[in-house]
């Protein structure tokens, strides 16, 4: 490879890292060198999940749950917001401060789906406003998007799982009708699943995130692309290059979708 193309590749890599908010990677400081790209670790205590008395399990035969789902699946946006704000369908309601329905352009082409609110989202009622949210904003910018403009951001669960643990299958199942309705109302052209909790719940699959990346999936006929969760990217430098590939794949997929719908 020529020196010119090497230089071009290096320059492109630098631009990518800058777009993702990862430059400068290192900065000399008095008393040593600190890695700027390294974000604070997210708390990761995962409390043992105990079945609680009186908590419904979605897998049980539960006519009341069916009626609740049917009602949600007929709601408009205002009704959804009110319903989520008052939701007591799973134990997450007991520890939440605010519910986080989602935010952005409800008529947008792009839907980003994360896992569930963290501490800052729980405090503000807005999705992705903490450190992971800042990285998500940079990822959007990297492909010419902007939060709220042609983009809606939602989560699998609308209440914060304590200690930032993953939502349980029952919690995700209780919340599922809300996201199903959001998607139905929004009719996005492309869904980006951020991380494995979003991917598993949307696609009802499993497998490694690596095996889900790089190809088009479908949710109710809508193309879905799976990429890393921004919180994971904050802790894992090497995955950022792969996330960039996913963003480029998403951008070219959207171009194809828009062209074919002309």
Give the residue closest to ligand URA by C-beta.
114
Question: Quick one: tokens of 133?
Answer: 């949210």
16 vs 136, which CB is nearer to ligand URA? 136
Integer Cα distance of 95 and 107 in angstroms: 32
Candidates 21, 104, 118, 188: give the one binding ligand URA (CB under 6 A): 118
DSSP 166: P
21 lies in the site for ligand URA, by CB under 6 A: no
100 vs 254, which CB is nearer to ligand URA? 100
155 lies in the site for ligand URA, by CB under 6 A: yes
- State the minimum distance, in angstroms, from the CB of residue 114 to ligand URA: 3
110 lies in the site for ligand URA, by CB under 6 A: no
Q: 42 with 231: CB under 8 angstroms?
A: yes
The H or E element spanning position 222 is: strand 222-227
- Cβ-count burial 201-213 (b if 16+ within 10 Å, e if not): bbbeeeeebeebb
99 vs 155, which CB is nearer to ligand URA? 155
Query: Contact letters (x/-) for ligand URA, 69-108, by CB under 6 A?
Result: -------------------------------x--------
- State the minimum distance, in angstroms, from the CB of residue 228 to ligand URA: 11
Beta strand 26-29 with 222-227 is unpaired
Contacts of residue 146, Cβ cutoff 8 Å, sequence gap at least 6: 140
User: Interface with ligand URA by CB under 6 A: which residues?
Assistant: 100, 114-118, 121, 127-128, 132-133, 155, 231
């Amino acid at each position: 490879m020529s020196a010119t193309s090497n230089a071009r590749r290096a320059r492109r890599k630098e631009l990518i890292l800058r777009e993702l908010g990862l430059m400068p990677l290192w900065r000399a400081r008095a008393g040593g060198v600190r890695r700027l790209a390294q974000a604070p670790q997210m708390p990761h205590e995962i409390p043992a999940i105990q079945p609680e008395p009186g908590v419904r399990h979605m897998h049980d035969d539960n006519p009341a749950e069916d009626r609740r789902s049917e009602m949600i699946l007929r709601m408009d946006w205002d009704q959804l917001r009110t319903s989520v704000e008052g939701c007591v369908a799973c134990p997450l309601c007991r520890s939440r401060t605010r519910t986080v329905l989602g935010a952005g352009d409800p008529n947008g082409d792009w839907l980003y789906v994360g896992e569930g609110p963290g501490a800052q989202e729980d405090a503000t009622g807005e999705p992705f406003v903490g450190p992971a949210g800042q990285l998500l904003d940079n990822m959007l910018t990297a492909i010419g998007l902007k939060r709220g403009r042609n983009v809606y951001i939602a989560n699998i669960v609308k209440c914060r799982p304590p200690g930032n643990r993953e939502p349980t299958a029952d919690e995700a199942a209780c919340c599922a009708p809300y996201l199903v309705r959001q998607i139905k109302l929004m009719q996005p052209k492309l869904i980006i699943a951020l991380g494995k909790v979003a991917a598993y719940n949307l696609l009802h699959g499993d497998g490694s995130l690596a095996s889900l990346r790089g190809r088009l999936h479908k949710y109710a006929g809508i193309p879905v692309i799976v990429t890393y969760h921004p919180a994971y990217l904050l802790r894992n430098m090497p995955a950022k290059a792969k996330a960039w590939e996913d963003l480029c794949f998403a951008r070219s997929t959207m171009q194809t979708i828009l062209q074919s719908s002309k």
